[in-house]
Amino acid sequence: MRLSRWTIALCAVGLIAARPYVARAAGDQVVIGDIDDMSGVYADVEGAGGVEAVNMAIADFGGTVLGKKITVLTADHQNKPDIGASKFREWADQQGLNLLLGGSNTGVNIAMAKVAAAKKVPFITIGAGGASLTNEDCTAYSVHYVYDTTALANGTATAMINAGGKSWFYLTADYAFGTQLQNAASKVVEVHGGKNVGAVRVPLGAADFSSFLLQAQASGAQVLGLANAGTDFSNSLKAANEFGITRTMKPAALLVFITDIHSLGLKTAQGLYLTDGWYWDLNDETRAFAKRFFAKMNRQPTMDHAGAYSAVLTWLKAVKAAGTTDPDKVMAQLKKDKINDMFAKGGYIRADGAMIHEMYVMQVKTPQESRYPWDYYKLIRKMSGEEAFGPITGVCPLAPK
């Protein structure tokens, strides 16, 4: 009994003694964390490729900032908000975290934004799409970098309506992201004088979409709005083709990554309109990045990979310009700088945290039009950042209307 009490006391002393040591160790380096889905359904969209992009950015910056070595921490949030938030908290408390990159999944990113505000750590969302991150869930330390549901809807829904698709029926993933995407698209459709006929909420990861698709077809709408992502998107489009639904309805993909098109194949995906924040084959700069990325990962980068690279460079430049890693000073610097690199031209971070940059409305090529591997999109229209992300809504208290 006595011994065990001594053991406990010794352990406690050990723990207390260890704390300042950890904090001191963290002071000699700059720490960037990346919490993402590394093993689940979104792992190919960013995942390990995102970590690679972060490392590329650090190497290109020279490996140090303010004379300190830059280290990277990574973790798998397994699409669970509690895991993401507690890992973030742990790194902020024990590892001296200076910047966190949030990977895929809007739900997890909302949970992590709350930690960013509490711990005062700059937090850049890369892979998640929910526009609530810069509205009701915004914080003074959040940046939403690559795309959001508003921009996706503005791009794809407008393109579909211009092509004559006036009445819409939605296949919506039944969680935060799906609902936000459907709402954003519905607004755009209404503004342009179109009609929202109906929607069916599909549980995430459904095994079979045919039944929901027949309901969509029975609605008589002209456009099939796919407010889902990843495997759900691919499987629903595949089934829509198989059941001949694409002959009577035009599918509108509200969120597509190039990896989805790669797995579906052009025969199934051809003609599809989509909105992208970046495409590897836009110009020489994007192709140069893609070539380096391909050499490491053996596939072309998604907009999230390019975004992760750009976000890290942008933050490192801000740290260098501010001469400190102090979160408030770095955030102020970030919101002052213009972003000019292979990801964005003239991009800037708005008061609500949205990174405003050009978005691209794309159409998937036919198998005949595609001339080389991964030659999948043709550019239909460039949208200015202001058009894509829309005006400040006033919902975020940091950015009054």
Task: Work out whether 370 is an interface residue with other proteins (CB under 8 A).
Answer: no
Per-residue contact flags (x/-) with other proteins for residues 172 to 211, judged by CB under 8 A: --x-------------------------xxxx-xxxx-xx
- 245-264 residues in contact with other proteins (CB under 8 A) are 259-260, 262-264
- Smallest gap from residue 265 Cβ to other proteins (A): 5
Q: Between residues 37 and 352, which has the closer beta carbon with respect to other proteins?
A: 37
- Smallest gap from residue 365 Cβ to other proteins (A): 17
Contacts of 54 (CB under 8 A, 6+ apart): 32, 34, 72, 101, 308, 309, 312
What number of residues does the chain have?
401
Q: Between residues 118 and 204, which has the closer beta carbon with respect to other proteins?
A: 204
Q: In what order do the strands lie in the sheet with 29-36?
A: 64-65, 68-76, 29-36, 97-102, 123-125, 142-144
Of 27, 244, 271, 346, the one binding other proteins (CB under 8 A) is 244
Number of H helices, E strands in the chain: 14, 15
- Measured CA to CA in angstroms, residue 152 lies from 2, 180, 363 at distances of 65, 11, 14
Task: Work out whether 239 is an interface residue with other proteins (CB under 8 A).
Answer: yes
Task: Work out whether 268 is an interface residue with other proteins (CB under 8 A).
Answer: yes
Q: Between residues 215 and 286, which has the closer beta carbon with respect to other proteins?
A: 215
Size of the site for other proteins (CB under 8 A): 38
Q: CB of 356 within 8 A of CB of 380?
A: no
Q: Between residues 194 and 230, which has the closer beta carbon with respect to other proteins?
A: 230
Please spell the DSSP secondary structure of 104-155, one letter per residue: S-HHHHHHHHHHHHHHT--EEE-S---GGGGTTT--TTEEE-S--HHHHHHH
Q: Between residues 113 and 264, which has the closer beta carbon with respect to other proteins?
A: 264
**Sole window of 62-70, 178-186, 239-247, 384-392 interacting with other proteins (rule: CB under 8 A):** 239-247
Of 11, 59, 191, 218, the one binding other proteins (CB under 8 A) is 218
- Classify residue 382 by its DSSP letter: E
* Residue 284, burial from CB neighbour count under 10 angstroms (0-12, 13-18, 19+): exposed
Q: Between residues 40 and 327, which has the closer beta carbon with respect to other proteins?
A: 40
Of 31, 32, 43, 311, the one binding other proteins (CB under 8 A) is 43
Q: Between residues 172 and 222, which has the closer beta carbon with respect to other proteins?
A: 172
Of 86, 94, 215, 393, the one binding other proteins (CB under 8 A) is 215
Of 30, 33, 40, 188, the one binding other proteins (CB under 8 A) is 40
Task: Work out whether 39 is an interface residue with other proteins (CB under 8 A).
Answer: yes
Nearest-angstrom CA–CA distance, 10 and 8: 5
Task: Please count the CA atoms within 13 angstroms of the CA of 250 that sit on its side-chain side.
Answer: 21
Q: Between residues 40 and 129, which has the closer beta carbon with respect to other proteins?
A: 40
- Measured CA to CA in angstroms, residue 12 lies from 8, 17, 95, 233, 287 at distances of 6, 9, 20, 51, 55
Nearest-angstrom CA–CA distance, 249 and 307: 33
Judged by the rule CB under 8 A, the positions of this chain that interact with other proteins are 39-44, 47, 174, 200-203, 205-208, 210-212, 214-215, 218, 230-231, 234-235, 238-239, 242-244, 259-260, 262-265, 268
